[in-house]
Structure 1
Amino acid sequence: MYFASDNSSGAHPKIMEAVQKANADYAMPYGSDPIMDEVRQQIRDVFEAPEAAVYLVATGSAANALALACMCQPWQTIFAHREAHIEVDECGAPMFYTGGAKIELIDGDDAKLSPAALHAAIEKTGQLGVHNPQRGPLSLTNLTEAGAAYTPAEVRALADVAHSFGVGVHMDGARFTNALVATGASAAEMTWKAGVDAVSFGGTKNGCLGVEAVILFDPKVAWEFELRRKRGGHLFSKHRYLSAQMNAYLKDDLWLEMARHANAMGKRLSDGILQIEGGELLHPTDANQVFARWPRKGHQKAHAAGAAYYFWPFDHDLAGDPDALLGARAVASWSTTERDVDTFLELISGG
C-alpha cells in the first residue's frame, strides 16, 4: 500500500534487464554508445520528429532546468502556473541554470493555465522596458501538480498565446506518458504539433531507474544544450546505462503499458474513495494522481496499517475529530496492484 509517489516504485524488470545487458561489455562514453544511436531514432519515430535533437539526463530537474536555460535569457521571466513543478519542487534550479531568470506565477484551477490568464500575464510583462524582466518562455507541467492533464487542444491554445508574443514553449513531462494515455493523444499531437518547442520526456516516474529525455524540436540550440549539460555536471560518462533504460522503456510500447496500468489503478482508487461516506475529490483524477479527502478515522486506520501517502496539505494531524475530513495525495504507479488499492480502500473506509 505504497501511494506516496510513483518515484517510490521499483524499476520494471525489463529496464533492469536492459541495464544488466549493457553492463556486459565495453562501450564508448558520453552518449557515443551504440544504444544511444538507437534511442535517438526511437524517440524521433515516437514523436514523428526526424530532425529533433535528443539528449538524456538522469533527473527531471536537470531536464527542465537545462532545457529552459536554452530558451531563456537571465533577464527574462518564465511563465508558469503558481503550482508548476519548476516552481514548487525544484529548489530554484531553473533560476540557477538560466543565470537568474525569474518565474512569473499565474493562477488557474487544477494547476492548469488558461489562455486568457496567460495572455494577461505576458502582456503586462516588460512594460517599463529596461527596468523590468523581459518576456521569456512558457512552461507547462503535464500532468499538472494537481493531477490534471492538458489536452493537445489546450496546449495549442496556450502555445498560440505564447508564440503570438514571440516566446517559446517548454513542457515539463515528468508524467508525460500518463497525460498522453489519459487524453488518447499521440506524442507528436501533445508536443510539436500543438506548438511545444521542447519537452522533458520522463521515464523515472514511469518504471525506469533514473532517466529523462530532453527533446528539442528546433535543433538550433542543440550545441548550447550540450555545453550546458556538460558545464552543469549532467553529462554521464557511462552514458550507456541511461541509454539502456530509455531503449527498453520505448521498446514494444512498455512506456505506454506502464502508464496505462498506473492510470487504471489511479481511477480504481479514485472511484473507490467516492464510495466512502464523506469521500470526495479535491481535483479530477485524470491519470495516476489522486487528490481526495475522507474522514480522519480512515486516515488513522491506514497509517496504523503502514500505508504510505501524503496529507494534502501536509500539515494535517492524525489526532482530532474522527469524522473531520482530511485531504490527501495518493499516487499509483506501474507496480501498484488491484489488491494494493482494494486493501487501502478497505482501511480508509473506516469500517
Structure 2
Amino acid sequence: MYVAASHQTSGHSLSALLNPATEAAARQNANSDASDSQALDAAAAKATATPATRIEISARAKQLLARANAEQTVVLRLLAQINALRHAASSTGAAAYDNANITTGASDDVIDAYRYATINAGDGNNKVSTYDHATVSTGAGNDDIDTYGWSTVNAGDGNNRVSTYDHAAVSTGAGNDVISTYGWSIVNAGNGNNKVDAYDHATVSTGAGNDVISSYGYATINAGAGNDRIDSGDYSTVSGGDGNDAIAVGGYSSVSGGRGDDSIRISGSNASVAFDRGDGHDVIRSSGDLTLAISGYSQSDVSVTRNGGTAVVSFKGSDDSIVLNLDGNATATLSFADHSTLNLSV
C-alpha cells in the first residue's frame, strides 16, 4: 500500500501519525476542531431563532469548519492504514485454486492451494496446505506442510512437519523433522533427530541424528550416524549407519547394522544380516532361519560358545562379537568372502 509521505494533517507529518504514541494526540486535535465546528453550528442556530439578530459566519470560520471535517476523515483513514500495515508486517496469507503459482518472501506465510500448485515460500515459519501433484519449497524456518499424493516437497532447515500421501518426494534440511507419508514415497531427511512414518515400498534416507523410522514392507531405509530406531516389514533393506541402533524387520529382509552396538530383531525367515570387521557388539534375535554375511574375517577367525538358548560368535584378534538368539529350530548360516559357510543352531 502506497501512502504519500509529504501529506500533513493538523501540523503533524505522516511519520508522526505512524507512531502509535501520537495517534491519541491526532485524535484529540481532530476532536478539538470538530468541537469548534459544533460551537459555530450552535451559534448559527441561535441566530436563526432570533429574527432581530443576524449573524454571518466569517470566511475564516467556514474554512475552519471545512478543515475540521476533512482532517477528521484523514485521521481515521490513516489509523485504518496503520492497523493494516501492522497486520501485514506480521504475516502473509494467500489462497488459490488449481494450477496456482505462488511465491512469497521472508515472513510467516499461510498458503492454501488446490491441485497442481507450485509454491515457493521464503524463510519464516510457514504453513502450507495443497492437494495432489503440488510442488512446495520453503526456506529456513519451522514449516508446517500438508499435501496429497504425487507431490514434491523441499523444506529448508528448521523443525519441519510434513504430511503427504503416496508417491510423494520429500526432502528436508537440518532440523528435527516429523515426516509422514504413504507408500511408494521417497524421503530424504537432513541432519537432526527426525521422525519418519512411511507405508510400503518407501525409500527413506536420514542424516546424522537419533532418528525414529517406521515403514511397512518392501522399504529401503538408510539411516545416518546416530542411535536410530528402525521398524519395517517383510522384504525390506535397512542400513543403520554408525551408532547403537535398534532395528526390527520382517522375513526376506536385508540388514546392515553398521558400526556400533546394534540390536536386530527379525520376525520371519530367510533374512540376511551383514557384519563387517569393526562393527562392534551386535545382538540378533530371529524367529526363522537367517544368513550372517561376514566381512573382514575368515572362517578360521571364528569361535562359537553356547549358553542356553544363545550362541556367541567371537573373532580372533578383535573385540567384535555377535550374540544370536534363535527361536525354535531356526538356524543361522555364517557366510564368508571365500564362499565358505558355517551353520549354527542353539
**TM-score bracket for this pair, using the shorter chain length:** under 0.3
The structure whose residues are more often strand, as a share, is 2
Bigger radius of gyration: 2
Q: Which has the higher contact order (CA 8 A, sep 6+)?
A: 1
The structure whose residues are more often helix, as a share, is 1
Structure 1 length normalisation: TM-score?
A: 0.20
Structure 2 length normalisation: TM-score?
A: 0.20
